[in-house]
Amino acid sequence: MLKRRVIPCLDIKNGRVVKGVHFANLRDTGDPVEAARAYDTQGADELCLLDITATTEGRDTFVDVVRRVAGQIFTPLTVGGGVRREADVRRLLGAGADKVAVNSAAVANPLLIRQLADRYGSQCIVVAVDVRQLKPLPGETDPLYEVVIHGGTRSTGLDAVSWCEQAASLGAGEILLTSMDKDGTRDGYDLAITREVSRRVPIPVIASGGVGSLEHLRQGLDPKEGAADAALAASIFHFGLYTIAQAKHYLADHGIPVRPHEAPRGVLITG
Amino acid sequence: MPREVILVDSQLGNLDSVEHALIQVGASVIVSSDPDRVATARMVVFPGQGSFGPTTRALVDGAMGAALRMVIERGDPFLGICLGMQLLFEQSDEGGGFDGLKVLPGRVRRFPADMRAGDEPDAARLKIPHMGWSDVQPTGEHFYFAHSYYVETTDPSLVMWWCRYGSVEFPATISRGNVFGCQFHPEKSQWSGLRFLRSFILGGRA
- What is the predicted ipTM? 0.90
- Kindly state the DSSP code that residue A123 receives in the 8-state scheme: G
Q: How many CB pairs under 8 A join A and B?
A: 123
pLDDT at A241: 86
Residues of chain A in contact with residue B95, where contact means CB-CB under 8 angstroms, are none
**How far separated are the first and last CA of chain B, in Å rounded?**
20
pLDDT at B77: 96
**pLDDT per residue as tens digits for the range B149-184:** 999 999 999 999 999 999 999 999 999 999 999 999
Q: Are B47 and B79 in contact (CB under 8 A)?
A: no
Asked whether residue A259 is domain-assigned, the answer is: no
Determine the residue type at A226.
Answer: G
Q: Are A107 and A131 in contact (CB under 8 A)?
A: no
- Between the alpha carbon of residue A34 and those of residues A22, A37, A97, A249, the distances in Å are 11, 5, 17, 24
Looking at the partner chain, which of A1, A94, A271 has a beta carbon nearest the beta carbon of B24? A271
How big is chain B, counted in residues?
Answer: 206
Q: Alpha helix locations (H) across chain B? A: 16-24, 35-39, 54-61, 63-74, 83-86, 190-203
**pLDDT per residue as tens digits for the range A66-99:** 999 999 999 999 999 989 999 999 999 989 999 9
Number of Cβ within 10 Å of residue A138's Cβ equals 4
Asked whether residue A64 is domain-assigned, the answer is: yes
pLDDT at A138: 85
CATH number of the structural domain spanning residue A16: 3.20.20.70
Domain residue limits at A184 = 5-253
B59 pLDDT more than 50: yes
Give dist(CA A238, CA A247) in Å, integer.
13
Residues of chain B in contact with residue A223, where contact means CB-CB under 8 angstroms, are 117, 124
Q: Are B107 and B96 in contact (CB under 8 A)?
A: no
Q: What would you report as the CA-atom Rg of chain B, rounded to the nearest whole angstrom?
A: 16
Mean pLDDT, contiguous 10-residue spans, chain A (271 residues):
96 83 61 92 94 78 94 94 92 93 96 94 94 88 90 90 98 96 93 97 96 97 97 90 93 96 54 35
CATH of B3-203, one of 3.40.50.300, 3.40.50.2300, 3.30.360.10, 3.40.50.880: 3.40.50.880
**Is the preceding peptide bond at A8 cis, omega within 30 degrees of 0?**
no
Asked whether residue A263 is domain-assigned, the answer is: no
Structure confidence at residue B94 as a pLDDT band (50, 70, 90): confident
Nearest-CA neighbor of B183 among B165, B201, B199, B203?
A: B165
Residues of chain A in contact with residue B16, where contact means CB-CB under 8 angstroms, are 70-71, 96
Cβ pair B190:A40 closer than 8 A: yes
What are the sequence ranges of the domains in chain B?
A: 3-203
B206 pLDDT more than 60: no
Structure confidence at residue B204 as a pLDDT band (50, 70, 90): low
Nearest-CA neighbor of A5 among A256, A269, A241?
A: A256
Measured between CB atoms, does B31 come within 8 Å of chain A?
Answer: no
The three-class DSSP label of residue B132 is strand
Phi, psi of A5 (to 5 degrees): -105, 145
HSE of A171, CA atoms in CB hemisphere, 13 A: 18
**pLDDT per residue as tens digits for the range A129-175:** 999 999 888 888 888 999 999 888 889 999 999 999 999 999 999 99
pLDDT at B55: 86
Looking at the partner chain, which of B20, B129, B164 has a beta carbon nearest the beta carbon of A71? B20
Q: Count of domains in chain A?
A: 1
B 143-202 residues inside an 8 A Cβ radius of A:
144-148, 164-165, 185, 187-195, 198
Sign of CA dihedral B47, B53, B55, B57: positive
Angle between helices B190-203 and B16-24 (to 10 degrees): 70
Query: How many H helices and E strands in chain B?
Result: 6, 13
Looking at the partner chain, which of A124, A203, A230 has a beta carbon nearest the beta carbon of B128? A203
**pLDDT per residue as tens digits for the range B69-89:** 999 999 999 999 999 999 999
The larger pLDDT score, comparing residue A267 to residue B18, is at: B18
pLDDT at B124: 79
Of A45, A88, A130, A190, the active-site residue reads A130
Distance from CA of B44 to the nearest CA of A (A): 20
Q: Are B57 and B92 in contact (CB under 8 A)?
A: no
B128 pLDDT more than 70: yes
Give dist(CA A90, CA B31) in Å, integer.
19
Give dist(CA B206, CA B185) in Å, integer.
14
- Kindly state the DSSP code that residue A76 receives in the 8-state scheme: -
State the average pLDDT over residues B100-114.
95
Give dist(CA A171, CA A118) in Å, integer.
8
Structure confidence at residue B120 as a pLDDT band (50, 70, 90): confident
- Between the alpha carbon of residue B87 and those of residues A3, A203, A233, the distances in Å are 27, 24, 37
Looking at the partner chain, which of B16, B127, B191 has a beta carbon nearest the beta carbon of A204? B127
**Is the preceding peptide bond at A223 cis, omega within 30 degrees of 0?**
no
